[in-house]
Amino acid sequence: MVKSILENRPALKAEIDKVAEVAGYLWQKGWAERNGGNITINITEYVDDEIRQMPAISPAYPIGTTLPSLKGCYFFCKGTNRRMRDLARWPMENGSVVRIEEDCASYVIIADNPVKPTSELAAHLSMHNQMIEHGKGYKAALHTHPIDLVALTHNPEFLKKDVLTNLLWSMIPETRAFCPKGLGIVPYKMPSSVELAEATIEALKEYDVVMWEKHGVCAVGPDIMEAFDQVDVLSKATQIYIAAKSMGYEPTGTSQEQMDELKRAFNL
Ligand code: 13P
Ligand code: ZN
């Protein structure tokens, strides 16, 4: 048995435990069929000299894009083609730790096993690059396939700017409070593409969560639990909309005045 990078590093292990816990939630929610969805977290703050000395256990792979703020950073990433429900139980067998190379355009795997990171790495690392540049201390990125939110994107009306944001805010006050910038839409693009990554970070400048048309959502946060919460809040609002519609009526929604009151009260 190779020694795990988590051994004698309780703070790092605690972050990986959170990833595993969230991976389990994604499966329970029905958002993670097969290998659907991916998680990455920036673990650079937990890296010590011993980790810095660790040799690569893979060749250098290209990211597909150049991300200047990631030089020498370390990430834990779900492996490509790995199941969330397996990540939940065995995170270090279904994910790996990578180090970004000096060129900021490639990475190597350093631990525990040479598990190739998610095919959406360009999008994830672009989100991390932007999080560092924005200096908010955000460390986690999540992409998942919530049934309800994806279904909404099959209606062209909902793809128009801010239509979904306003609809979901109006379903329950929590959405307005906890997702104050709302849900951005990225028109359909090839999964795993750099174009998708670029459109994602562009939309994240304006919105809390980004919807990939007919595919899934991306959320970021201080840790993976909070990134999950963002999607969960939007999914709950969508469920309320669907429940009202299936009872045969168009939900009234909170009024603009009620939302404005909330905005003032919570300083949103
Ligand atoms: P990976 O298994 O490569 O992480 O891909 C899953 C996915 O959701 C692609 O968009
Ligand atoms: Zn996906």
CA of 35 to the centre of ligand 1 (A): 6
CB-based contacts of 246: which residues, under 8 Å, 6+ apart? none
Q: Show the domain range for 205.
A: 146-268
Cα separation, 218 vs 204, whole angstroms: 9
Answer whether 37 contacts ligand 1 (Cβ < 6 A).
yes
- How many structural domains compose the chain? 2
Minimum CA distance residue for ligand 1 atom 1: 80
Q: Using the mean position of ligand 1's atoms as its centre, give its distance from the Cα of residue 244 in Å.
A: 32
Among 60, 86, 121, the domain boundary falls at: 121
Dump pLDDT digits (tens) for 9-29.
999 999 999 999 999 999 999
Q: Is the pLDDT of residue 236 over 90?
A: yes
Same domain (yes/no): 219, 264: yes
Check pLDDT > 90 for residue 268.
no
- 137 belongs to a structural domain: no
The helix/strand/coil state of 42 is strand
Separation CA 99–CA 107 (nearest Å):
6
Ligand nearest to the CA of 83: 1
Residues 167 and 225 in one domain: yes
> Is residue 55 one of the residues assigned to a domain?
yes
Is 168 within the bounds of a domain? yes
**Is pLDDT above 80 for 2?**
no
pLDDT at 244 over 90: yes
Q: What is the tens place of the pLDDT at every residue in 184-196? A: 999 999 999 999 9
Confidence of residue 266 (pLDDT cuts 50, 70, 90): confident
Our mutation pick for probing the ligand 1 site, out of 27, 39, 81, counting the most ligand atoms within 8 A of Cβ, is: 81
Q: How far is CA 4 from CA 1, 7, 54, 235, in A?
A: 9, 6, 12, 36
Which listed ligand is nearest to 150 at the C-alpha? 2
Domain contains 61: yes
Kindly state the percentage of the chain with pLDDT values over 70: 100
* CB of 94 shorter than 6 A to ligand 1: no
CA dist 121 and 135 (Å) reads 21
Residues 6+ apart with CB under 8 A from 84: 23, 24, 26, 27, 32, 35, 36, 37, 78
Residue 138 lies in a domain: no
Atom of ligand 1 nearest to the CA of 144: 8
Mean pLDDT of the chain: 97
1 band by pLDDT with thresholds 50, 70 and 90: low
Distance (angstroms) between ligand 1 centre and the Cα of 57 equals 22
Q: What confidence score (pLDDT) does residue 167 get? A: 98
The pTM for the full model equals: 0.98
pLDDT at 81: 98
Check if the beta carbon of residue 52 is closer than 8 Å to that of residue 43. Answer: no
Residue 116 has pLDDT above 80, yes or no: yes
Q: What is the mean pLDDT of residues 76-104?
A: 98
Same domain? 27 vs 110: yes
